[in-house]
Structure 1
Amino acid sequence: MHLRSLRSVRFCAVAAICGVITLPVFAQAKPTSAELERSVHLRESWEYLTREIAWPASWLPDGSAFTYRKTVEGGFRFETVDRKTLAKTPAFDQVRLAHSLSEVTGEKVDALHLPFSEFDYADDGRAISFSIHYNGWRCTLTDYQCKEQTYPGRPRGFGVVRDLSVPADNHPRISPDGHWEAFVEDNNLVVRKVDDGGVVRLSQDGSKGNFYDPETIAWSPDSRHLMIYRVKPGFARYVLKVEAAPDDQLQPVLRRQLYPKPGDAIDQEQPVLFDVAKQSQIDIDPSLFPNPYQLSAPRWRKDGNSVAFDYVKRGFGQARIISVNADTGKAHAAVTETAKTFVYADRRFSHDVNDMGKEIVWASERDGWNHLYLINGRNGRVKNQITKGHWVVRKVVKIDDEKRQIWFAASGMNPGEDPYFRHYYRVDFDGRNLIALTPKRADHIVRFSPDMSYYVDNYSRVDLPTVSELHRSSDGHLIATITKGDITRLTAAGFRSPEVFKAKGRDGKTDIWGLVVRPTDYDPSHKYPVIENIYAGPHDSFVPKRFWPFGYHSGGDKVIGMQALADLGFIVVQIDGMGTANRSKAFQDVAWKNLQDSGFPDRILWHRALAAKDPSYDISRVGIYGASAGGQSTLNALLFYPDFYKVGVAMAGCYDNRMDKISWNEQWLGWPVDDSYSAASGVDNAARLQGDLFMIVGGQDSNVDPASTMQVVDALVKADKDFDLLVVPGGEHTVGRSTGPIDYVTRRLSEFFIGHLQK
């Protein structure tokens, strides 16, 4: 019998003394050291028990075949399928590729565990490109030479402050007709004739404090004009971190990172238009793009008559496409998007139909849902709404200007289905002839052939192992099933799919969706403490919808990590409350200037609804854990909702948004910095702490300033609050989740919950 299945029964020995005969009390036996060890290593024990679980496909450039990664004995193998014959062959020599990567990186790379799951073909299929830890790599498939991709140019802190300690990429930009080359000299724009080397200085007003940036030079297709940005530098804030225990030496090292924070002065870019023949200069009137947070690179229309750039206003209340007449320099707003709360800058989409500026396909939430619109690019007015309904466009895959058709992914269109499941569709520009391409009730990732004639549909659910199918695009006809996941051995080892559960949110109408992971030896007659795995960042939704349960993501452990914790005697859940993305605009707007909310009113109602249905779900003992924004939410659970949440493990948290990166925080809390930053601050509200808190931080976190954690520590000490702290020297933002001492951090997290919830 499993140790936790044993029950200790305590009876009153003398009824006269006790007054009444008491009912049995069931006490929970804590896990043994062997059980804890099994839990810590559960992921590596179970990860390679599946077969034929395939990842989304990558097509060869000529569309003759496609490639994907799939699970095999001992790891993963890349396989290529011929589109016509359906014959399967190894995609490349994984042993040679692993050997090359090992030599270049200095780290042992195993052939069945290549450090990437998807790639893109390059050089007409003779090379592949992929990412390892956010860095780009390229490997040839002829001689198996691998190189890390380096990109010339001057880095920018979160895209808004240039690192002036690094020289700009000032190589000459050749005009399309080949007659001129443009570059910057003494902070001014010059052009040089290719044939005789004659130099023409086009600007005179550049200076060190207001310089022309050569990396923004954009020639018109007819070589008559060019646009460039003149830049007033912002404030170069550097975060300083002491690496106390470097690997290669005894003494500490001081590291620094360009790291703009909310409210900092950012680079100010002024678009300037030049006529090369006339040697004339026009500063574009900034009245249409006041106080820019960011301008995109200039892009010329194919006729050379106009140039456009994207504008996001600081504070994220407005986004525009600005179109500039090449001859006059007169600007107009081709599209304007304004919101009372925020325009989600990272989800903007636009497409210039025929690359002429007359019509623009634009994604907008103006009717309360993310949809596509056809905009008159001359006056900014809506010609027609292309998609409409209480569902959201998630991604535009392809636009065919000639056929006036759009292929896109959307979620929430199918009644009665999980509203986060992605499906793929085709629709005409006028909104007619909407065709569904992926009818199966699951989450889909589709990869189309280069000519859009075929597609590989990779679909799954948390309770449906991945299936990959080849289809014909014209009518969705199924050509062949390519792979079908087999989890027989995983199930035999004890894996059970998570339970999907939904309950009404704070408005009494909106469904809140989550997952429930129970112990492998779950006993419905037993009472289990509850642990919530939280990530509540407004930029996405986070509850897994696909089958692969083993990996990690920015919000923390996936299903197997939750299973490992559950097997120690807990029920572990994950929920997407209001304030997250991929639902309606109103659903996400809950987070606006309100990050301390984290969807907790919805989450607590969800917990109570499950407890009302399931007597084993003990909401008198609720813990919570999360990383990054999830770490902030974990701390806030104990600060603002201590009547419900009793124990928290907060990792790498952005506990005070004024200490965190400028981009993410001004997007959700706005600009200028106001009281909403303080209202969500774990520093300013530290004295409210109740319950048991354990904070974990990597000393070299490059995503969230680790000083954010230490400022909470300082405030808690001053408030005379007890807490636990683990600082991992040299640890990065993902310490304990995908890099660093994973087993150690997992054990400490698990022991903390055992010690404080299993009393």
Structure 2
Amino acid sequence: MRLIVIILLLLVQTFAFAQTKQMSLEDAVYGRYTYLYPESMSGLQWMDDEHFSFIEDKSIVAESAKSGEKSTVFSLNELNEITGANLQRIPSYRWIGQTDLLISDAKKYWLVDSNTKNVKYKIELPENADNASFSEEGQYVAFTQGHDLFVALANGTTKQITSDGGNGIVNGQTVHRNEFGISGGIFNSPKGNFVAFYRKDESMVKDYPLVDFMARQAELTPVKYPMAGMASHHVTLGVYNIESGVTTFLKTGEPLDHFLTNVAWSPDEKSIYMAELNREQNHMQLNCYDVVTGEKVKTLFEESSDTYVEPLYPVQFSKVNPGEFYYLSRLDGWFHVYKYNTDGKLVQQITKGEWEVTNILGFDAKEKTLFVEATLDDPLQNNIYKVDVKSGETERLSKEDGVHGGTLSPDAAYVLDRWSGTEVPGKVDLISSNGKNTRTIFASEDPLKDYQLGENKLVSLKTKDGKYDLFGRLILPNDFDPAKKYPVVVYVYGGPHSQLVTKGWQNQARWWQYYMASQGYIAFTLDNRGTNNRGRAFETAIHRNLGVLETEDQMQGIEYLLSLPYVDADRIGVHGWSYGGFMTLNLKLKHPEIFKVAAAGGPVVDWSMYEIMYGERYMDMPQENPEGYKNSDMTKYVENLDGKLMLIHGVQDATVVMQHSMKFLRECVKQNKQVDFFAYPIHEHNVRGKDRVHLMEKVSRYFFENL
């Protein structure tokens, strides 16, 4: 009996000890993306109407959605035997049809018949190939070498599509600095007969001098960086005919510095549909072009705004009626799904309301039911819904609160739902599309279960005018005592296309904030106007005056903090990077009486030195908005600098170039203002890898020593 009591006491002590493990800085920074990242299902995808597959124990495993029965499709050893490769792990793969498996590894592609276990064909790319794009119908891989475009065919031949790359000409790569939803520069046609591609001419854009200080003699490594109001690159779209070898460029006309985005093929390969946006970014045309002649056939519709129009999603053609397509747009102020015909006539607005559709998952076979991800129930969540196309009636399929992402089965009978919640590190649920059945097929263990963490809670505030809700996240120190006073570190970003506070795992907190809480600091974050998933009016309120309303909203958060009896009003600090660095300077310089310490990383100091596509969308050109640019220039507020401020910048930063920090430091010297500065050699806009631990130790110590 005594032995049992001793064992129980030891178990209790062990459990108590496990709950008091303190988060180290390495845990917070490196562990966040490695050993403290929740496990997930690798390679999860639909195989056919009934089965989905995933990687487990060095094998591709299939599971029946109906019965849950599992079977091994391919083991790693089998794949090595079939392909003759020496794979060390299951490589990237996807199903082509219901029996063919495409696997790719180290510039090699194999199409394997899962029934016969034979390789149908193999395509091997050169070592220096980039931007590879596989066409299942055409049995080829389009790719780039240097600045030219090629296509490797399953018959073993390779064709060169372009030969003018270099000296400012770039083919087959992303353009417009990845704005407007652009993520690549190659667009294979549905039947595999053509390759459409971007051709970028940036010869008119000035070379921006980046310096590599690691060479024996420092070397110039210039990049093309088009700054606001200056010359922008010119983009055209070429269409290469695989059989004839002929390339036709679409006649997109002038002005040459407009933006071409959201490229989509018609199902019959006769037309390309594309959103074209003017340099001012306030007028968009959805245009149709003839693939053979390159001529513009028609403009289907146009969208204009007194702020900006930002097309992000290509049209999706109906599989039931090829004369119709679906389009995701903020036409009424919120992202919703519209159906148009190919004459440009609006057939129907399918979803409506003051909420955002964030993704179209697909339709059932007759396209009577639409499946989407959306924020209908809560802007802090992303849930999965089915929508009756005729009536617009909407039903939520994801059961629990959190941030959900779905993959629809080919027959639309099931949805694979990957999600996390405030206290759920990660799950995958299988949901029947009738909404009646759900089963969990994977649940991650909590990698933070052994750590003592500060209380993490959501905060809801109002903008100063009472018009909008603002959402924040407050993390208290581990050993919080409401009778004590604690310093606060505000972590800020605040720019467009961001949302730092959600009902995902841990309310989307960064582990560094938990680390600071373990060191006796309150950690606070707020999403201000201009951020994502809140509708067009909320986002575009900052137009032409960046930093003004964002700062006002952040100060609403400060007002809330100051109302808490346990906040030390004399010890408030702020840290942010990129747009967050810009916001850190705004807060520190405009409210020096509040912010004692600030650490600004990669900060935008002067928007006239930022790139065209992003900068001009939110600020217009400097010559069009001189007052706005002046008011958002952080050097104009250096005279207010009081207390401790540190700037940090990557030496090779080609996003927010080092010139920003240099301009700010020069103004500090001119005004005899002391400021701290640290540069990270070889690093670009973000300090990555093991050096990131060094970065966050630098930031943390700055607060420890000064706040």
Judge same fold: TM > 0.5, yes or no.
yes
Q: 2:313 and 2:396 mapped to 1: Cα distance?
A: 24
1:603: which partner in 2? 554
1:52–1:212: structure 2 CA closer, same or farther, 3 Å change rule? closer
1:197: which partner in 2? none
Say what the alpha-carbon RMSD is for the aligned residues: 5.0
Kindly provide the amino acid, as one letter, of the partner of residue 212 in structure 2: E
2:281: which partner in 1? 316
Q: CA deviation at 1:37?
A: 9.6
Checking the alignment, whether the CA contact within 8 Å between 2:236 and 2:249 is kept in structure 1 is no
Q: 1:484 aligns with which of 436, 443, 451?
A: 443
Q: 1:337 and 1:128 mapped to 2: Cα distance?
A: 41
Q: 1:387 aligns with which of 351, 372, 379?
A: 351
1:285–1:472: structure 2 CA closer, same or farther, 3 Å change rule? closer
1:584: which partner in 2? 535
Q: 2:466 aligns with which of 495, 501, 508?
A: 508
SS across alignment from 2:401: coil
Q: 2:258 aligns with which of 293, 299, 302?
A: 293
Kindly provide the amino acid, as one letter, of the partner of residue 230 in structure 2: D
Kindly provide the amino acid, as one letter, of the partner of residue 658 in structure 1: S
Q: CA deviation at 1:576?
A: 0.6
Q: 1:563 and 1:420 mapped to 2: Cα distance?
A: 21
2:371: which partner in 1? 407
Q: Deviations over 1:387-412 (max 9, x none)?
A: 1111111111224574243221110x
Name which of structure 1's ranges 702-711 and 526-535 shifts more when overlaid on structure 2: 702-711
Q: 1:211 and 1:733 mapped to 2: Cα distance?
A: 23
Q: 2:102 and 2:337 mapped to 1: Cα distance?
A: 35
1:435: which partner in 2? 395
1:161: which partner in 2? none
Write out aligned runs for 1:280-679 (5 A). 284=251, 286=253, 293-296=258-261, 301-303=266-268, 306-324=271-289, 329=295, 331-345=297-311, 347-354=312-319, 358-378=323-343, 380-399=344-363, 402-411=366-375, 413-414=376-377, 418-473=378-433, 475-487=434-446, 490-496=448-454, 498-547=456-505, 558-597=509-548, 599-612=550-563, 614-671=564-621, 674-675=625-626, 676-679=628-631
Q: 1:386 and 1:678 mapped to 2: Cα distance?
A: 43
Q: 1:750 and 1:210 mapped to 2: Cα distance?
A: 44
Checking the alignment, whether the CA contact within 8 Å between 1:530 and 1:622 is kept in structure 2 is yes
Q: CA deviation at 1:692?
A: 1.6
2:648: which partner in 1? 696
Name which of structure 1's ranges 693-702 and 476-485 shifts more when overlaid on structure 2: 476-485
SS across alignment from 1:538: coil
2:40: which partner in 1? 54
Kindly provide the amino acid, as one letter, of the partner of residue 352 in structure 1: F
Q: In the alignment, is residue 741 of structure 1 matched against residue 691 of structure 2?
A: yes
2:9: which partner in 1? none
TM-score normalised by L of structure 2 = 0.76
1:150: which partner in 2? 129
Gaps of 5+ in 1: 1-34, 98-102, 154-163, 175-180, 188-207, 551-557
Checking the alignment, whether the CA contact within 8 Å between 1:687 and 1:715 is kept in structure 2 is no
SS across alignment from 1:169: strand
Checking the alignment, whether the CA contact within 8 Å between 2:59 and 2:74 is kept in structure 1 is no
Q: Structure 1 vs Structure 2: percent identity of aligned residues?
A: 23
SS across alignment from 1:642: coil
1:701–1:271: structure 2 CA closer, same or farther, 3 Å change rule? closer
Q: CA deviation at 1:320?
A: 1.9
1:4: which partner in 2? none
The alignment covers a number of residue pairs equal to 640
1:731: which partner in 2? 683
Q: 2:691 and 2:611 mapped to 1: Cα distance?
A: 25
SS across alignment from 2:556: helix
Write out aligned runs for 1:47-196 (5 A). 53-54=39-40, 58-62=44-48, 65-66=51-52, 81-86=63-68, 121=94, 126=101, 150-151=129-130, 167-169=147-149
Q: CA deviation at 1:668?
A: 1.8
Q: CA deviation at 1:532?
A: 0.8
TM-score normalised by L of structure 1 = 0.71
Q: CA deviation at 1:719?
A: 2.1
Q: CA deviation at 1:136?
A: 9.8
Q: 2:107 and 2:464 mapped to 1: Cα distance?
A: 43
Q: 1:344 and 1:236 mapped to 2: Cα distance?
A: 23
1:743–1:722: structure 2 CA closer, same or farther, 3 Å change rule? same
Q: CA deviation at 1:485?
A: 3.9
2:177: which partner in 1? none
1:486–1:230: structure 2 CA closer, same or farther, 3 Å change rule? closer
Q: Deviations over 1:197-244 (max 9, x none)?
A: xxxxxxxxxxx9999999999999899x99999987552332322222
1:149–1:464: structure 2 CA closer, same or farther, 3 Å change rule? farther
Checking the alignment, whether the CA contact within 8 Å between 1:184 and 1:213 is kept in structure 2 is no
Q: CA deviation at 1:170?
A: 6.5
Q: CA deviation at 1:623?
A: 0.8
